[in-house]
Amino acid sequence: MWNFIKNREPNIHMKRLFEPFLSYRHFRTRAVDRQNTSSTGLYGFDHLKSPKGFQRFVDEAIERSSELIDYISGMPSSAEIIRAMDEISDTVCSVVDSAELCRQTHPARGFVEEAIKASMKINVYLHFLNTNHTLYNAVKKAEQDGHLLTEEARRAALHLRIDFEKGGIHLPSGKLDRVNQLNMDAHKLCREYGENIINDPGYVDIFPASRIPRQIQHLLKPIYRLTSGVSKESLGSYEDEQEKGFRIITEPRTLFSVLQLTPDEQVRKMAYLKGSSIPHANHEVLDKLINSRHELAQIMGCKSYAEFVMQLNMASSPEVVVSFLQEMSNMVKEKADEEFNTIRNLKRDLCGQRCVDLEPWDEAYYTTMMKSSAYNLDSAVVASYFSLPQCIEGLKLLVKSLFGASFDSVPMAPGESWHPDVLKMCIHHPEEGDLGFLYLDLFSRKGKYPGCATFAIKGGRKISETEYQLPDYQHFAGTRVALDFAETPSNLFEYYARDYRVLKKFARHYSTGEVIPEKLVKSLNGARDMFAATELQRQIFYALVDQTLFGEQLSVPRDTNSIVAHLKRQHSNEKHVEGTHMHIRFSHFLTYGAGYYSYLYAKCFAATIWKKLCQEDPLSPTTGTLLRTKLLQYGGAKEPADLLTDLVGDGIVRYHNGGIVPDVTSCLEEMKLLDDKNRHISK
């Protein structure tokens, strides 16, 4: 049942179902008094005052969960079964989530090591929960007896039962043992894949230093080599001189900056080839993972892993997803071809006829050049209006304008934080009180998780008729929703980040206080839209690779390199270079696993919501009330399609071959791709 562990980027979190359960008697998160100076533990958990506290944290979670299992074994009422199951989930999740956040962000090695031990121990217990027939039978009883009075409770029972069965609990013992082994193998392979990316980012050394543009030199490591110097006339000898260069560590963020801003094509080429061909060890890791996931799916009676993971998604089947992606690919192709030709022609104009074609290491450089030229953009000027304090002011503005709540920094108790840079924010409603807390850890540092991500610590949960565990069932709290719905809010709020009516209220120059000029915002939006079809085509390509890798397998082993090359030729203008392998360090293929299409679903849903509900008056309290009461407050407690339709009415989802796909009209209109042909297809 705790097969619900969905670790995701850029919003990392979500787990396997017994991904968790917690008792408020032992683990209830408390809001630290804003005037309280008494010490606490990490994240407000009293157990975590020291690294060794993780041991007791795990032990008490297991102890409380065992008490709840005993209670459930007595077959209380259906409502009590589901309530107790949710507490188990909450209990275990607090340990799993805290350990994962600590492992990824804590600067103290002692805490990290104990968090890893806690994670290993709780995962062993998760296996026990996932295979516990007492719990499974109780959930089935609760689902079948018809005594659950609320839609949310019935939905919780359904999801709990399906999550159990995703772990194979309903299978004969031999098959169940194999499913458990395959799940453990997959977990290890995913971790190995990620570790290989971190441990083998690749690098190229560039001499002389002048080949690297000054504005990105701070991202690179200075290096030196000895060269023969000029002879000393008086001595008739030579002395060695040092020549300065730079080492480009080809991890994705640095690589992208190099490809964007480096005029020297050979430097771009070397960096691209190295960054796109490592880590070699992940070829074998990915192949093993694909095979393990496919065998798991077949044992579970599915044709593919993609089919297996989509049971509770809106799409419902890989066929629906692939059909949607291919339609989108056809819609965007003509415009993407035009954009490609524009970029290629610029390169030819600048380089002469010796430049026959546009290479993969050229696109980012020439598109950046064209955007800067067309809109006179300077990244340093743009950044000057978006200092961190001003961006936080922007968040406060949104929370206040839309939801009538405040979003303020609050002090932490001694021991609660893991680094001096961390901020604790509280969302407070004047009538409802504290709604939740958020830690912001926004600066990079050695040993910290390198990407953008959210980590859950504690989900919302109704404890009794009078008590609510801050941020009904934590199983549906936050982003514990259908995967192809989860990214919708984040995509929607990107519109707020580029609307001048919003930006002028908080985006001010860090030194002069000048409000960001409307002309600059228009330029930013114009530049963003310049090659929108190319970017959309790229996302479609990634999603199709994801579907194919985890789709139906042929009788003969498949070569993943050939699959990627073939799909790139079909759905992208970018040339495939032999020896490059984007799929061996694209971790979304692991964390999403046949779910990367979710980003495109979210993009379409968000475009429709913005157009129909938010665009006219984005900061209206009426708009905010609708967003909160009809969409955000439910988490996963209602069907996503029902929430979306209730929010904006018809015209946001389409029913297709037994599944649900987004209506693409608003998205294509926004990108100026909706000609008569595409308008017909989108209906």
Q: Please state, rounded to an integer, the average pLDDT across all residues of the chain.
A: 89
Amino acid at residue number 654: R
- Measured between its terminal Cα atoms, the distance across the chain in Å is 38
pLDDT digits (tens, 9 = 90+) for 607-642: 999 999 999 999 999 999 999 999 999 999 999 999
> Which of 56-70, 141-155, 324-338 is predicted least confidently?
141-155
Nearby residues of 139 by Cβ (< 8 Å), 6 or more positions away:
1, 81, 82, 85, 157, 160, 161, 164
What stretch of H or E contains 427?
A: strand 423-429
Partnered with residue 241 across adjacent β-strands are 227
439, 422 Cβ separation under 8 angstroms: yes
- Cα 664 from Cα 328, distance rounded (Å): 9
455, 439 Cβ separation under 8 angstroms: no
Model confidence, pTM: 0.90
380's tokens: 């340093």
Residue among 620, 619, 618, 646 at smallest CA distance from 632: 646
Which pLDDT value is given to residue 450?
Answer: 76
Q: Could you give the count of Cα atoms lying within 13 Å of 451 in the half-sphere of its Cβ? A: 17
Q: What is the mean pLDDT of residues 540-553?
A: 95
312's tokens: 């509770």
Residue among 190, 169, 181, 189 at smallest CA distance from 300: 169
- pLDDT band at 568, cuts 50/70/90? very high
pLDDT digits (tens, 9 = 90+) for 364-391: 999 999 999 999 988 889 999 999 999 9
Q: What is the mean pLDDT of residues 439-452?
A: 88
**Residue 50, class by beta-carbon neighbours within 10 Å (0-12 exposed, 13-18 middle, 19+ buried)?**
middle
- Cα 166 from Cα 233, distance rounded (Å): 81
- Cα 494 from Cα 496, distance rounded (Å): 5
Residue among 46, 6, 52, 9 at smallest CA distance from 29: 46
> Which of 8-12, 392-396, 679-683 is predicted least confidently?
8-12
Nearby residues of 365 by Cβ (< 8 Å), 6 or more positions away:
259, 260, 261, 262, 263, 268
pLDDT digits (tens, 9 = 90+) for 500-518: 999 999 999 999 999 999 9
Tally the residues of the chain: 683
pLDDT digits (tens, 9 = 90+) for 185-218: 998 999 899 889 989 999 999 999 999 999 999 9
Residue among 401, 477, 505, 483 at smallest CA distance from 660: 483
Which pLDDT value is given to residue 223?
Answer: 96
Partnered with residue 425 across adjacent β-strands are 409, 438
- Cα 524 from Cα 372, distance rounded (Å): 10
Please check the confidence at residue 3 and state whether its pLDDT lies above 50: no
Which pLDDT value is given to residue 352?
Answer: 79
Q: How far is CA 386 from CA 4, 393, 423, 439, 578, in A?
A: 37, 10, 18, 20, 41
pLDDT digits (tens, 9 = 90+) for 65-123: 999 999 999 999 999 999 999 999 999 999 999 999 999 999 999 999 999 999 999 98
- pLDDT band at 228, cuts 50/70/90? low
Please check the confidence at residue 241 and state whether its pLDDT lies above 90: no
Which pLDDT value is given to residue 229?
Answer: 55
150's tokens: 């609320």
Domain ranges of the chain: 202-226+242-267
- Cα 435 from Cα 451, distance rounded (Å): 27
Which pLDDT value is given to residue 36?
Answer: 57
DSSP string for 191-243: HHHHHHHHH---EEEESSGGGS-GGGGGGSEEEEEEEEEEEETTTTEEEEEEE
Q: Would the CA dihedral through 153, 155, 161, 167 be positive or negative?
A: negative
Helical packing angle, 532-549 and 598-609, nearest 10°: 140
Q: How far is CA 583 from CA 218, 351, 562, 565, 589, in A?
A: 29, 31, 11, 10, 8
pLDDT digits (tens, 9 = 90+) for 402-441: 999 999 999 999 999 999 999 999 999 999 999 899 999 9
286, 279 Cβ separation under 8 angstroms: no
Q: Could you give the count of Cα atoms lying within 13 Å of 510 in the half-sphere of its Cβ? A: 11
